[in-house]
Amino acid sequence: LTMQRFEYVKDFEQPDVLLPNTWIVVRIDGRGFHKLSDHYAFVKPNDRRALDLMNAAAVEVMKELPDLCIAYGVSDEYSFVFHPSCQLFERRSAKLVTTIVSTFTAHYIYLWSTYFPSKPLQPPYLPSFDGRAVIYPSTRLLRDYMSWRQVDCHINNLYNTTFWTMVQQGGLSNTDAEQELKGTVSADKNEILFKRFGINYNNEEEIYKKGSVLYRQYELEEPKQKPAAQDEVSPPEAKQSRSQQDKLKKLRRKAQVIVDHIDIIKDDFWERRPWIISGKP
Ligand code: DGT
Ligand code: MG
Ligand code: MG
Ligand code: MG
Ligand code: MG
């Protein structure tokens, strides 16, 4: 028997290399977290322990993969962003996605008992995540992607906060609250919260209103400075020498991963942290 007899099956594998020199976003999302959050009685609308656990798992992913330059999390989802210069796994989509999903899931399960000490995990309610990779060919597109997720966070949180306040404090049935909120805009929900319940939505916790942003911190934040040109990024790492690549990796590994709950829609966040876009370091 020879190897050659069977080796032709290798040719059935499909190439899945992502376009060079583009931002890669890997978004993961909890599978069936509606049921899972019911089973483990997550607080509605926001369970701080569940969000802290998501963030802790994401920090571990950032630490293990120095090619990641930023991540954004809300609810049961996380978006991990690879810089256009990234050459990890030759940019093969399946390898990037499966590595992120399994690394995240492993840490999520490992850390579960720290955040939910009185609620041991039990089958069939075991956390798992799906994932996909999407490329964005310009920094403007990447910025718009990040803005899209943060706006989604805001819209959902305002709705959920209003809905659950009407149910929990206002004594409305789920159906009645849903009915009353149908067709309302943000201003209406703010007014319901304020006039009926004395709640100023602005005073709700930032982590709920803005989601969570993870990035590496290298030095004290710079005061406002001239913004880096929108599409000015490092050359692909293939064009950098081995030692240059290793130096970058080391710097990134040593950097502290920050968990922040701030606006990433406006320019300010990016202008103060130019290394996220520039990829230096
Ligand atoms: P999927 O993603 O299609 O497998 O299905 P789900 O059920 O994961 O749906 P998805 O991802 O659209 O929505 C996230 C669910 O997770 C949503 O039903 C509410 C739940 N969830 C996420 N974070 C919290 C939380 O902090 N508290 C509570 N009570 N539920 C949460
Ligand atoms: Mg989903
Ligand atoms: Mg989900
Ligand atoms: Mg989700
Ligand atoms: Mg192997």
Binding-site positions for GTP read 29-34, 75-76
Beta strands in the chain (DSSP E): 23-30, 68-74, 77-82, 129-136, 212-217, 256-260
Which domain CATH number covers 63?
3.30.70.3000
Q: 55 in ligand 1 pocket by Cβ < 6 Å?
A: no
Please report the pLDDT score of residue 47 as a whole number. 98
Is residue 230's pLDDT more than 60?
Answer: no
| 76 CA distance to ligand 4 middle (Å) | 5
Looking at the CA of residue 30, tell me the nearest atom of ligand 1. 8
Is residue 130's pLDDT more than 70?
Answer: yes
Q: How confident is the model at residue 235 (pLDDT cuts 50, 70, 90)?
A: low
| 248 CA distance to ligand 2 middle (Å) | 35
| 75 CA distance to ligand 4 middle (Å) | 6
CB 66 within 8 A of CB 249: yes
Which residue, judged by its Cα, is nearest atom 22 of ligand 1?
75
Do the domain assignments include residue 41? yes
Q: 44 in ligand 1 pocket by Cβ < 6 Å?
A: yes
Pocket test for ligand 1, best of 29, 75, 130 (most atoms within 8 A of CB): 75
Question: What is the SS3 assignment for 197?
Answer: helix
Q: 263 in ligand 1 pocket by Cβ < 6 Å?
A: no
pTM for this prediction: 0.93
Binding-site positions for Mg(2+) read 29-30, 76
Do the domain assignments include residue 6? no
Pocket test for ligand 1, best of 28, 33, 79 (most atoms within 8 A of CB): 33
Do the domain assignments include residue 189? no
Q: 42 in ligand 1 pocket by Cβ < 6 Å?
A: yes
Please report the pLDDT score of residue 248 as a whole number. 85
Q: Which long-range contacts (CB under 8 A, 24 or more apart) does 113-119 make?
A: 114/53, 114/56, 115/49, 115/50, 115/52, 115/53, 115/56, 116/40, 116/49, 116/53, 119/40, 119/41
| 127 CA distance to ligand 5 middle (Å) | 25
Looking at the CA of residue 31, tell me the nearest atom of ligand 1. 4
Please report the pLDDT score of residue 225 as a whole number. 55
Do the domain assignments include residue 44? yes
Number of domain units in the chain = 1
Which residue, judged by its Cα, is nearest atom 19 of ligand 1?
34
Do the domain assignments include residue 181? no
Do the domain assignments include residue 128? yes
Is ipTM beyond 0.90?
Answer: yes
Taking only the tens place, the pLDDT of each residue in 144-191 is: 999 999 999 999 999 999 999 999 999 999 999 999 999 999 999 999
Pocket test for ligand 1, best of 27, 76, 126, 155 (most atoms within 8 A of CB): 76
Taking only the tens place, the pLDDT of each residue in 7-47 is: 999 999 999 999 999 999 999 999 999 999 999 999 999 99
Do the domain assignments include residue 121? yes
Q: What is the mean pLDDT of the chain?
A: 94
Q: Say if residue 15 is preceded by a cis peptide, omega within 30 of 0.
A: no
Per the model's pLDDT, the better-predicted residue between 54 and 251 turns out to be 54
Comparing CA positions, the residue from 112, 34, 44, 40 lying closest to residue 76 is 34
Tokens of 160: 């959920």
Binding-site positions read 29-34, 75-76
- Cα gap 224→173, rounded to integer Å: 49
Is residue 258's pLDDT more than 90?
Answer: yes
Do the domain assignments include residue 163? no
